């Protein structure tokens, strides 16, 4: 193993002649404030290697330290890792930096360090002599998982958090509600999960497909499940950002509580949790009672999620029902917001103020720009770069996640065997050449780019293996884009990255990840006969 095998690539890595052997005598010297990293090393690396890593110091020890000098030079997420004949020294700028450095140490030990038990009991473990100095490019290195379209069991969420940590990603965007399912227990509104967490059937493939799965689908996370997920993520220095969608993407909530919808134009009592995909016309009614309901939802959400940011969706909200609704039109006049776009802005501005009063920050999809951007709101720029550019130039913080580049539900190849092919072809190499900060953005605006995020929408991903296939190996390329100080896309060493991936595939194998092989999908990964929605040609830059 050499420094060239590390993913994401570190800021600097200098290899030296020689190797250090870790064995049963190797001690772990945990300095002040390093206890969580020491526990992770003992539990995770200890399980894979069989090494006890007892407390102690001396020659050959692994030393963990929180270093003010490292923080000054590389920030709280930065670290310095030195391997010499005297042992391993890992200095973190803070606890997070120490943890990311521990991830690098794990990579250097080889793919077998990613297993849950030793495959060669009693074997020694070698590390190359080297010095690594590292820090992330962006503070927001995110992954969105949509658990509303297809529910993800709690154990698989925890597994995904481990996979994120292995790639030095630090924001988990938890898409918990949508038309097809409500996934979080809200104690004061039990029907949200009693009714809203289950649908009678599911469309198989794209919404234009004639095929259905008639097995009822659903599930939800209890409040204690959420607490466990949040705590597990925090131990891995991952922030969980919850998303509660409004005022669109709300049919599951309306099915549970029909008065939330526009009852003067739709028989909302007849609505069920939606069983197909696409943009749904059934949106929330613009009433004070609806605001109070969602304030109650968010009060419980804030109790469970310490994240500064709370995502409120705000995307794909058709205005047809509001146009037809006498009550909604009266509301437009009463509020003086001009039109239906103003109603959407009214929803978002209300929760922007409500969250700010409680020390939190609203973030939403770039449609929240319509009707006027809420004061203090941040934007997830998904329809392209344009919304993010406009928001950043106006002084709002932005997370860049353009669908044309980093929606991992988009297909990975143009071949006929790709399972349920959706969207543009985005290969591993394409994702590696993604640039979160668009050229031409002013220096002041560029400072508002908090970072970047890859999004995983699960309409055509019915289980964990399908999610694995769409996410990996491309998440490795995305992680390097988010972490590493890469040159401009045309100057990136794609061939070198692909060489490093040869080792990384072995790590993913050890972790049991059902990634897309470089040669194309295995027979069991294909979905013949399921209609997708492929889009030809390169994606536009918008």
Active site residues: 178, 249, 316
> Does residue 114 contact residue 511 with C-beta atoms inside 8 Å?
yes
Nearest-angstrom CA–CA distance, 304 and 231: 10
Nearest to 273 by CA among 380, 343, 347, 178: 178
Nearest-angstrom CA–CA distance, 48 and 188: 44
Q: Could you give the dihedral angle defined by the CA atoms of residues 456, 298, 186 and 271, in that order, rounded to the nearest 10 degrees?
A: -70
The crossing angle, in degrees rounded to 10, of helices 154-166 and 223-235 is 10
Nearest-angstrom CA–CA distance, 264 and 458: 33
Nearest-angstrom CA–CA distance, 501 and 482: 17
Beta-carbon contacts of residue 208 (< 8 Å; ≥ 6 apart): 531, 533
Nearest to 83 by CA among 56, 97, 100, 63: 63
- The residue written with tokens 């705000």 in the block is 314
Nearest to 106 by CA among 229, 230, 22, 18: 22
Beta-carbon contacts of residue 447 (< 8 Å; ≥ 6 apart): none
Bridge partner list, 399: 380, 451
H helix and E strand count, the chain? 19, 22
Beta-carbon contacts of residue 470 (< 8 Å; ≥ 6 apart): 408, 409, 412, 456, 461, 516
Tokens representing 354? 């409500």
Nearest-angstrom CA–CA distance, 368 and 377: 9
Overall size of the chain counted in residues: 542
């Amino acid at each position: 193993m050499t420094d060239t095998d590390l993913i994401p690539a570190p800021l600097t890595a200098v290899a030296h002649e020689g190797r250090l052997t870790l064995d049963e005598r190797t001690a772990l010297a945990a300095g002040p404030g390093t206890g969580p990293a020491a526990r992770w090393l003992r539990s995770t690396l200890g399980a894979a290697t069989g090494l006890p890593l007892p407390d102690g110091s001396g020659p050959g020890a692994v030393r963990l330290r929180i270093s003010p000098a490292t923080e000054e030079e590389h920030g709280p997420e930065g670290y310095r890792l030195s391997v010499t004949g005297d042992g391993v020294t890992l200095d973190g700028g803070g606890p997070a930096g120490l943890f990311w450095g521990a991830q690098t140490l794990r990579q250097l030990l080889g793919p077998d360090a990613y297993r849950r038990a030793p495959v060669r009991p009693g074997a020694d473990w070698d590390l190359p002599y080297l010095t690594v100095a590292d820090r992330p490019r962006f503070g927001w290195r995110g992954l969105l998982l949509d658990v509303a379209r297809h529910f993800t069991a709690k154990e698989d969420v925890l597994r995904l958090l481990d996979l994120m940590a292995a790639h030095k990603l630090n924001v988990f965007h938890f898409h918990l509600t949508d038309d097809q399912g409500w996934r979080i227990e809200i104690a004061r509104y039990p029907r949200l999960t009693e009714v809203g967490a289950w649908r009678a059937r599911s469309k198989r493939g794209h919404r234009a497909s004639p095929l259905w799965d008639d097995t009822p689908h659903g599930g939800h996370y209890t409040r204690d499940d959420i607490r466990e997920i949040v705590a597990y993520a925090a131990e891995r220095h991952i922030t969980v950002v919850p998303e509660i969608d409004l005022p669109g993407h709300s049919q599951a909530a309306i099915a549970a509580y029909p008065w939330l919808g526009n009852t003067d134009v739709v028989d909302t009592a007849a609505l069920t949790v939606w069983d197909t995909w696409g943009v749904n016309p059934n949106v929330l009614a613009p009433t004070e009672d609806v605001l109070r309901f969602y304030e109650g939802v968010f009060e419980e959400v804030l109790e469970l999620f310490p994240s500064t940011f709370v995502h409120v969706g705000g995307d794909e909200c058709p205005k047809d029902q509001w146009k037809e609704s006498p009550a909604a039109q009266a509301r437009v006049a009463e509020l003086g917001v001009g039109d239906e776009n103003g109603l959407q802005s009214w929803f978002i501005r209300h929760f922007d103020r409500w969250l700010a009063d409680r020390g939190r920050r609203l973030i939403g999809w770039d449609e929240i720009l319509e009707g006027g951007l809420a004061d203090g709101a941040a934007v997830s720029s998904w329809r392209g770069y344009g919304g993010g550019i406009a928001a950043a130039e106006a002084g709002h913080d932005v997370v860049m996640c353009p669908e044309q580049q980093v929606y991992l539900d988009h297909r990975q190849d143009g071949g006929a065997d790709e399972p349920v092919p959706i969207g543009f072809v985005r290969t591993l190499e394409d994702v590696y050449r993604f640039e979160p900060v668009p050229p031409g953005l002013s220096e002041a605006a560029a400072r508002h780019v908090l970072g970047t995020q890859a999004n995983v929408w699960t309409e055509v991903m019915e289980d964990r293996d399908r999610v694995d296939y769409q996410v990996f190996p491309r998440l490795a390329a995305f992680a390097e884009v988010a972490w590493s100080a890469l040159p401009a896309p045309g100057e990136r060493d794609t061939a070198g990255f692909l060489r490093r991936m040869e080792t990384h595939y072995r790590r993913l194998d050890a972790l049991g990840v059902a990634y897309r092989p470089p040669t194309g999908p295995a027979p069991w990964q294909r979905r013949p006969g399921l209609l997708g929605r492929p889009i030809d040609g390169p994606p536009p830059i918008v």
